[in-house]
Structure 1
Amino acid sequence: MNDIIHAAGWALIHFLWQGTLLGLAAAALLWLMRGARPAARYGVACAAMLACLLWPAFEFASALQTTPRTLQALVLAGDAGTSPQSELLASIDNRLPLLVAAWLACVGALALRSAFGLAWIARARRTGGRNRHWQERLSQLAARLGIRREVGLRIVETLASPITAGWWRPVVLVPAALVARMPPELLEALLAHELAHVRRHDYLVNLLQNVVETFLFYHPAVWWLSRRIRHERELVADGIAVQLTGEPRRLALALSELEKIQFASQRLALAADGGDLVQRIRHLMLPQQQCSNWKGLLAALGITAACLTGYANARVEAASVPAARTPAVVDFKSCSKPLWPQEELAAEHTGAVTLSFHINPKGSVTDSRIVRSSGHTGLDQAARIGIEKCHFIPAKVRGKPVASWQQMQYVWTLE
């Protein structure tokens, strides 16, 4: 369990720079593709979001494969103290359980919020009103789009805009205010838009988005990518609806009426809606000219190569940094002053001896050696025998006590 906690903690920390790198790369690619079709931009944004999920998952799996024996070997290699970088890593490493606990609490709260959204949709599906005329019209539009599954229609009072929910048995939830106040031809255009989501299985992609948002909620790049995905998805669905109705102006008017009728209410987290209505209307009435840009493609490939190179360099640098650890520390209360050999004292011999002690995970000395002599064998042996009786706080890696070698210096002086 301790290994899982530390692997998860370091994966979350590493995603701070990984998410930033992915967000910057996606932003650059989407800017280069600003003249491309919405479906192409949607694919790039979805790929970046998927990478945000897979990269930390890979880091987590890689961290779990680092065995305690390998980590212990790294500690044994660090025999001569710690650098400021190692001390910082050790400080972070010791606080990982608290970090993971806080992360789990936030994930639990967001998951509960999504669960309430799913429960609300399930209840609206059961209790929502039915309209035979609009159900038949919806079925006709679905057949024209090649949707073979039955798509239900429910009229809901407490809803701001139409949404599509479900995959195996999809349902379109329509606000009662739209049925009562919107002209039929405009409402039909909105239903065509919702059916485009059904044909593209956007509900499943939206569920995946919510999973990524839940687990990686702390990174702004995730939320920016998620908003961009929803925006591009709406533009793609608008294009399909226009092909079905043959009138861009009708859908634009429907969106304009929706903005007027829409009453203030919070949108469900799992609804397949999104995008700014004004931008969608502008896109319908003034579509951008599509053009291919080979220079932009080359620049995009260059950015991708730079991202891969940066990741490779980061992996190399990470491999060169020693494992986060805390060194062994002597418990001076358990020590007694080494006895000065009589012959050395009589000769008034002094000096400093550097010793290295092997300390087991329980903090006991199991072996020792002289690294640098004081110049007097008696003083060297007396210091080693005396300090061997001390008890140590053992070194730790990932919060676990491990065996290590620790150097100490003892100075013999005459007062």
Structure 2
Amino acid sequence: MNLFTAAYLARLELWGLMAAVVQGVLVMSSWLGWERATRHATAAMRYRLVCLHFAALALSPAVTMAIVHWAVSGAGIAPPQASLLEELPRQMDRYRALLALALPLAGLWFLGAAAMSLQLARDAWRLARLTLHPAPASLQQRVRTLAVERMGVAVPTVELAAVASPLVAGARQPRLVVPIRWMRLPSAEQEALLLHELAHVQRHDYRWNLLQRLTLVALWFHPVAWLLYRRLMHEREVRCDALAVSHGAAPLKLAHALLRLAEHRAPPALAMAATGDGDFVTRIHRLLGLDAAPTRAPVGARAAAFALSALCLLGLAGGRLGRVDGSMADLYHASAFGPTVSVLARDPAGTFALRIKRGQVLAATVGEQPLSRDRIRQHGSRVTLLDATRQPMLALTVTPQDRIEWEARP
């Protein structure tokens, strides 16, 4: 990778970082608007909305960088402000300064992503090292009945382990892990918790959570990503509470079971535990019907939320500002991504044309006569076009940014 390609990628990195900051503010503002507008909406709607905002936060920097690249690829080359031989060294110094800024930022991001990956691996290891025991036949039959007859989902593998709360884990196939001291809970509370966990199985939350955790590996530096992930976990648990109740769980029994397990809950990780979310007050209030019944939000609140979401889309248009950034076009043409450029020039002696890529003259035509490859001599930025007798007839300076400079022929 040459200096120009590295500098172009560094410039895109800075555009992506700027987009992550600006879009993060816009996405968070949009979510706060929708959170207010859907305060009494169903758990399913709120969960979908927070997922949409989390995905928007993750994708917006990449989309912005793609727009910048697209805009720059269609931008022309700005005319030189001084002699090319004087201008090029100054440009090289600017590019080295750009790399001196971008490389430490990239290294810092990599270290943070590596730390997050290690934490993810640690959570997976903690799940893998659980000592599992076969569940009693009565419990397996009970789960099978609830899964098939109530929830209409595939029956997960049921096992016992020394965990504080029932949980669902697994990448391909779900595994329902039940606490060893399970039988201490009343039967109705057991059933409510099982239906809650089967709701996670029905929604494939154990897979979506893994994808969301992987997204956090890339967005570890972004406070908005962590805020949205916390809301996402909460709305996911509220949604599964609602599904459990809709499939026969007694709301009061589920609330009692959650309160019993809350004192021993473990930090949320890769598994889907009934006590994985810390905001129990809201969950208990919803289960007990203490929240107001779902109603339509005021028109003004929804209009404000739509307006804030529209700002997120408009923020992506900022990528087109790359078109007016002259140094981006320079770097693009000098990088490995740059196109082959055709240049047509004229002086008192007539016209000549060149095909250039990354400062290398690929073909030349003087007047109407194409020159063979051996009549094009290039040493660095200096190019000499030879006539049929191998005598110099035109000397040029060609930069990696595909600019040319020559002395007019008489």
Both structures adopt the same fold (TM-score exceeding 0.5):
yes
Give the counterpart of 1:12 among 4, 13, 17: 17
Q: Given residue 121 of structure 1, which amino acid in structure 2 is its aligned partner?
A: L
Give the counterpart of 1:42 among 37, 40, 47: 47
Q: Given residue 146 of structure 2, which amino acid in structure 1 is its aligned partner?
A: L
* Counterpart residue number, 1:120: 126
* Counterpart residue number, 2:269: 268
Change (3 A) 1:53 1:194: same
Q: 2: CA distance between counterparts of 1:288 and 1:363? A: 78
Task: Could you tell me which runs of 5 or more consecutive residues in structure 2 were left unpaired when the two chains were aligned.
Answer: 88-92, 332-358, 361-377, 384-398, 406-410
* Counterpart residue number, 2:35: 30
Q: 1: CA distance between counterparts of 2:82 and 2:148? A: 73
The reply on whether 1:101 has 2:107 as its aligned counterpart is yes
* Counterpart residue number, 2:308: 303
Give the counterpart of 2:244 among 241, 244, 251: 241
Q: 2: CA distance between counterparts of 1:23 and 1:170? A: 33
The reply on whether 1:281 has 2:287 as its aligned counterpart is no
Q: 2: CA distance between counterparts of 1:91 and 1:25? A: 36
Question: After TM superposition, where is structure 1 displaced by more than 4 Å over at least 4 residues in a row?
Answer: 1-5, 62-67, 73-81, 87-93, 324-327, 360-367, 401-406
Q: Give CA-to-partner distance per residue, 1:34-79, whole Å, 9 cap, x none.
A: 1211111111100111112222222344456688x989x6565555
The reply on whether 1:138 has 2:151 as its aligned counterpart is no
2:295 aligned counterpart, secondary structure = coil
Instruction: For residue 111 of structure 1, report the CA deviation from its aligned partner.
Output: 1.6
Contact 1:160 1:267 in 2 (8 A): no
Q: Give CA-to-partner distance per residue, 1:353-372, whole Å, 9 cap, x none.
A: xxxxxxx89998859xxxxx
Q: Given residue 196 of structure 2, which amino acid in structure 1 is its aligned partner?
A: H
Q: Give CA-to-partner distance per residue, 1:314-365, whole Å, 9 cap, x none.
A: 23444323336999xxxxxxxxxxxxxxxxxxxxxxxxxxxxxxxx899988
Contact 1:154 1:172 in 2 (8 A): yes
State how 1:4-403 maps to structure 2 within 5 Å.
5-6=9-10, 7-62=12-67, 74=77, 76-77=79-80, 79=82, 91-124=97-130, 127-157=132-162, 159-166=163-170, 168-177=172-181, 179-260=182-263, 262=264, 265-271=266-272, 273-285=276-288, 286-293=290-297, 294-312=299-317, 314-323=318-327
Change (3 A) 1:219 1:197: same
Change (3 A) 1:203 1:79: farther
Instruction: For residue 96 of structure 1, report the CA deviation from its aligned partner.
Output: 1.2
Q: 2: CA distance between counterparts of 1:79 and 1:284? A: 73
Instruction: For residue 305 of structure 1, report the CA deviation from its aligned partner.
Output: 2.6
Instruction: For residue 241 of structure 1, report the CA deviation from its aligned partner.
Output: 0.9
Q: 1: CA distance between counterparts of 2:319 and 2:64? A: 10
Change (3 A) 1:162 1:316: same
* Counterpart residue number, 2:349: none
1:245 aligned counterpart, secondary structure = coil
Instruction: For residue 132 of structure 1, report the CA deviation from its aligned partner.
Output: 2.3
1:95 aligned counterpart, secondary structure = helix
Change (3 A) 1:161 1:116: same
Q: 2: CA distance between counterparts of 1:307 and 1:60? A: 15
More relative contact order, 1 or 2 (CA 8 Å, 6+ apart): 2
Contact 2:188 2:250 in 1 (8 A): no
Query: Identity of counterpart residues, as a percentage?
Result: 28
* Counterpart residue number, 2:394: none
2:327 aligned counterpart, secondary structure = coil
Change (3 A) 1:300 1:180: same
Contact 1:234 1:275 in 2 (8 A): no
Contact 2:157 2:174 in 1 (8 A): yes
Q: 1: CA distance between counterparts of 2:238 and 2:310? A: 29
2:220 aligned counterpart, secondary structure = coil
Instruction: For residue 203 of structure 1, report the CA deviation from its aligned partner.
Output: 1.6
Instruction: For residue 112 of structure 1, report the CA deviation from its aligned partner.
Output: 2.4
Instruction: For residue 247 of structure 1, report the CA deviation from its aligned partner.
Output: 1.7
Q: 1: CA distance between counterparts of 2:53 and 2:30? A: 9
Task: Could you tell me which runs of 5 or more consecutive residues in structure 1 were left unpaired when the two chains were aligned.
Answer: 82-86, 328-359, 368-394, 396-400, 407-415
Q: 2: CA distance between counterparts of 1:318 and 1:326? A: 11
Q: 2: CA distance between counterparts of 1:99 and 1:191? A: 46
Q: 2: CA distance between counterparts of 1:13 and 1:88? A: 19
Q: 2: CA distance between counterparts of 1:111 and 1:31? A: 34
Q: 2: CA distance between counterparts of 1:10 and 1:310? A: 13
Change (3 A) 1:95 1:204: same
State how 1:401-412 maps to structure 2 within 5 Å.
none
Q: Which has the larger radius of gyration?
A: 1
- Count of paired positions: 333
Instruction: For residue 284 of structure 1, report the CA deviation from its aligned partner.
Output: 1.0
Normalising by structure 1, we get a TM-score of 0.68
Change (3 A) 1:174 1:278: farther
